[in-house]
């Protein structure tokens, strides 16, 4: 049964390695990539089902018992995140077949893509902080090369900002890990939870928690260290932007949720109710105002990533069962919706050759189906019922009202209205208004053809968009399964005894 913990890391790793043996055979790499992504999703679903049926699972490597060895552990939150990684990996992998040009494929796109999935899954499944750092670095290296793949000026500029801020984050992370090890003598997270609870140095523990907050906050693009994201995510091809938008910042969010429910709960009134709540509100507001001021499709979406991260941190800051369940639900909703919006932007670029709103238009008349496929995730992002975003925001708003945090509730509601405004702006400019007469086809490398094309000829691009849009509608109309799963995940986070005992091999 514990082999299921290894498969989400092993499958993309083997896919990346085998793909390297077929470096000059693009078609074989494409097949391997699709099979590997499907295998990852299948293994992730099997892991989630196993955790749901049998409870939290852990495995120790090298014959060393915890806390001395390398630990992999999965609770419901980890399993949910791995499933979402597999789903986005498959969707973007299929989309890449028609979006990534031959030049980037020849530079190793598919091995890099799956190596990045290795880093993401490893970060979700690791049981100790040092190995979380290792997985972050695997993720950072592969994602940086993917962002810069092709060597265009805008990509290199965005990539440098991306890697510089994330290296600073990694440095702060290592400093915080070193201090924590000096305090406790361990880095196993379950063991740390025990040691920190017994440590009589609350001021020092709170200081270390703030270091982790800053380090993970950079990776999650929280206020005020978010500016690297809108400067970089709009530069690579749409497939790369989409997997970045869906998954990369969520690794930082996951890490924040993990350490601020398992480790740093000694001073919740300060770290959660004050610091994280304030940061969540400011992240929401600055992100949505940034989006409202932009006139480039993917830059608007990039700023909205920042804004929506604020809602997830709001759930963590409220620190109640409903709030944490809302945060988990919101993460799942947002990964699906935001990935899909970036995929739609790539189709728009393929059809009209630009991401600039002033150069686009008329797609409602010529491609009605694409307009509908845009509206579903766009309205869901704004929280319009009965789509998935409505239930995600409803849970957080209700949790905020129950705990008496009216300021963050008001902020969340106002930001939702401004989000709707931004989505309406894209709709009006890209789909509703007439195509400007001076529109021309950009010759970006990701554009396989500059001739006018119909949706029927873009099946690898459209199929993942339809799948994710259908999932958004399904979650909205039938939210109970995800709500139940999120509630159980929240209970495990709030009461981590089962997690700790499983990792340390104690009788439950």
pLDDT digits (tens, 9 = 90+) for 281-317: 999 999 999 998 898 999 999 999 999 999 999 999 9
CA distances from 340 to 46, 301, 353, 376, 396 (A): 24, 11, 19, 10, 23
Cis peptide before 386 (omega within 30 of 0): yes
- DSSP annotation of 150: T
Contacts of 40 (CB under 8 A, 6+ apart): 7, 8, 11, 12, 85, 86, 89, 90, 117, 121
What local confidence, expressed as pLDDT, does residue 438 receive? 67
- DSSP annotation of 224: T
Calculate mean pLDDT across residues 411-431: 93
Condensed to tens digits (0 to 9), the pLDDT of residues 258-286 reads 999 999 999 999 999 999 999 999 999 99
Report the b/e string of 225-248 with b at 16+ CB within 10 A: bbebbbbbbbbbbbbbbbbbbbbb
Condensed to tens digits (0 to 9), the pLDDT of residues 9-52 reads 999 999 999 999 998 888 999 999 999 999 999 999 999 999 99
Confidence of residue 439 (pLDDT cuts 50, 70, 90): low
- Top-confidence residue, 63 or 354: 354
Question: Radius of gyration over alpha carbons of the chain, in Å?
Answer: 22
Which residues pair with residue 188 across a beta bridge? Answer: 128
DSSP 34-53: HHHHHHHHHHHHHHHHHHHH
Q: Phi and psi at residue 72, in whole multiples of 5°? A: -110, 135
- Top-confidence residue, 260 or 200: 260
Contact 361, 435 (CB under 8 A): yes
Task: Give percent of the chain with pLDDT exceeding 90.
Answer: 73
Angle in degrees, 0-180, between the axes of helices 480-494 and 249-262, rounded to the nearest 10 = 50
What local confidence, expressed as pLDDT, does residue 447 receive? 42
pLDDT at 437 over 90: no
Place of tokens 């989006």: 291
- Which helix (H) or strand (E) segment holds residue 373: the answer is helix 368-382
Compute the distance between CA of residue 358 and CA of residue 439 in angstroms, rounded to an integer: 9
Compute the distance between CA of residue 312 and CA of residue 64 in angstroms, rounded to an integer: 36
pLDDT at 93 over 80: yes
Calculate mean pLDDT across residues 123-127: 95
What local confidence, expressed as pLDDT, does residue 507 receive? 53
pLDDT at 466 over 90: yes
What local confidence, expressed as pLDDT, does residue 64 receive? 80
Report the b/e string of 405-435 with b at 16+ CB within 10 A: beebbebbeebbebbbebbebbbebbbebee
Calculate mean pLDDT across residues 109-116: 95
Compute the distance between CA of residue 475 and CA of residue 276 in angstroms, rounded to an integer: 28
Calculate mean pLDDT across residues 81-101: 94
Predicted model pTM: 0.94
Cis peptide before 68 (omega within 30 of 0): no
Among candidate residues 275, 291, 347, 285, the one with its CA nearest the CA of residue 310? 285
Q: Where are the alpha helices (DSSP H) in 189-320?
A: 189-198, 202-220, 238-243, 249-262, 268, 277-292, 297-318
Contact 409, 62 (CB under 8 A): no
Angle in degrees, 0-180, between the axes of helices 202-220 and 249-262, rounded to the nearest 10 = 160
Chain Cα centroid distance, residue 108 = 23
Calculate mean pLDDT across residues 168-197: 93
Confidence of residue 442 (pLDDT cuts 50, 70, 90): very low
Helices and strands in the chain: count of H runs, count of E runs? 22, 2
* DSSP SS3 for 186: coil
pLDDT at 508 over 60: no
* DSSP SS3 for 178: helix
Other residues' Cβ atoms within 10 Å of the Cβ of residue 200: 6
* DSSP SS3 for 223: coil
Confidence of residue 348 (pLDDT cuts 50, 70, 90): very high
Calculate mean pLDDT across residues 232-245: 91
Other residues' Cβ atoms within 10 Å of the Cβ of residue 305: 26
- Give the number of C-alpha atoms closer than 13 A to the C-alpha of residue 287, restricted to the C-beta side: 31
- Top-confidence residue, 63 or 119: 119
The mean pLDDT value of the chain amounts to: 90
Compute the distance between CA of residue 167 and CA of residue 215 in angstroms, rounded to an integer: 10
Place of tokens 């999935």: 117
What local confidence, expressed as pLDDT, does residue 444 receive? 38
Among candidate residues 130, 149, 298, 313, the one with its CA nearest the CA of residue 229? 298
Among candidate residues 462, 461, 323, the one with its CA nearest the CA of residue 397? 323
Structure tokens at 251: 């690794």
Compute the distance between CA of residue 210 and CA of residue 153 in angstroms, rounded to an integer: 36
Q: Where are the alpha helices (DSSP H) in 385-479?
A: 388-402, 406-426, 459-477
Place of tokens 């190596």: 115
């Amino acid at each position: 049964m514990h082999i299921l913990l290894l498969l989400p890391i092993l499958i993309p790793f083997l896919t990346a390695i085998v793909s390297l043996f077929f470096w000059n055979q693009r078609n074989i790499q494409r097949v391997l990539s699709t099979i590997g992504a499907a295998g990852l999703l299948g293994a992730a679903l099997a892991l989630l089902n196993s955790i749901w049926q049998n409870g939290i699972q852990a495995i120790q490597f090298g014959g060393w018992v915890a806390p001395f060895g390398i630990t992999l552990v999965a609770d419901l939150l980890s399993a949910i995140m791995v499933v979402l990684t597999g789903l986005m990996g498959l969707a973007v992998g299929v989309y890449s077949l028609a979006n990534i040009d031959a030049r980037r494929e020849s530079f190793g796109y598919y091995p890099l893509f799956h190596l990045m999935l290795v880093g993401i899954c490893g970060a979700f499944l690791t049981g100790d902080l040092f190995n979380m750092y290792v997985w972050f670095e695997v993720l950072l290296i592969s994602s940086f090369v993917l962002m810069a793949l092709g060597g265009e000026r805008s990509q290199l500029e965005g990539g440098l900002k991306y890697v510089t801020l994330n290296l600073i984050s990694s440095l702060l992370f290592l400093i915080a890990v070193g201090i924590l090890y000096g305090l406790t003598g361990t880095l196993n997270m379950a063991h740390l939870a025990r040691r920190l609870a017994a440590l009589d140095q609350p001021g020092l523990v709170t200081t270390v928690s703030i270091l982790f907050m800053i380090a993970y906050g950079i990776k999650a693009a929280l206020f005020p260290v978010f500016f690297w994201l809108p400067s970089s995510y709009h530069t690579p091809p749409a497939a790369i932007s989409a997997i970045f938008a869906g998954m990369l910042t969520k690794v930082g969010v996951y890490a924040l949720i993990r350490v601020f429910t398992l480790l740093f709960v000694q001073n919740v009134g300060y770290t959660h109710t004050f610091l994280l709540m304030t940061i969540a509100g400011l992240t929401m507001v600055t992100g949505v105002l940034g989006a409202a001021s932009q006139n480039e499709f993917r830059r608007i979406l990039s700023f909205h990533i920042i804004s929506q991260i604020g809602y997830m941190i709001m759930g963590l800051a409220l620190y109640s069962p409903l709030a944490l369940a809302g945060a988990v639900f919101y993460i799942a909703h947002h990964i699906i919706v935001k990935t899909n919006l970036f995929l739609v932007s790539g189709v728009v670029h393929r059809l009209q050759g630009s991401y600039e709103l002033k150069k686009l238009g008329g797609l409602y008349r010529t491609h009605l189906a694409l307009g509908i496929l845009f509206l579903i995730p766009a309205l869901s992002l704004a929280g319009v019922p009965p789509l998935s975003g409505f239930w995600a925001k409803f849970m957080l708003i209700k949790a905020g009202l129950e705990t008496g945090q009216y300021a963050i509730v008001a902020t969340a509601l106002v930001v939702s209205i401004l989000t709707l405004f931004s989505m309406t702006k894209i709709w009006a400019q890209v789909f509703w208004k007439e195509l400007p007469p001076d529109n021309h086809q950009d010759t970006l490398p990701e554009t396989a053809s500059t001739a006018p094309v119909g949706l029927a000829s873009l099946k690898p691009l459209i199929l993942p968009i339809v799948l994710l849009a259908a999932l958004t509608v399904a979650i909205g109309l039938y939210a109970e399964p995800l709500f139940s799963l999120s509630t159980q995940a929240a209970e495990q986070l709030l009461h981590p005894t089962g997690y700790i005992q499983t990792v340390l091999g104690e009788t439950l």
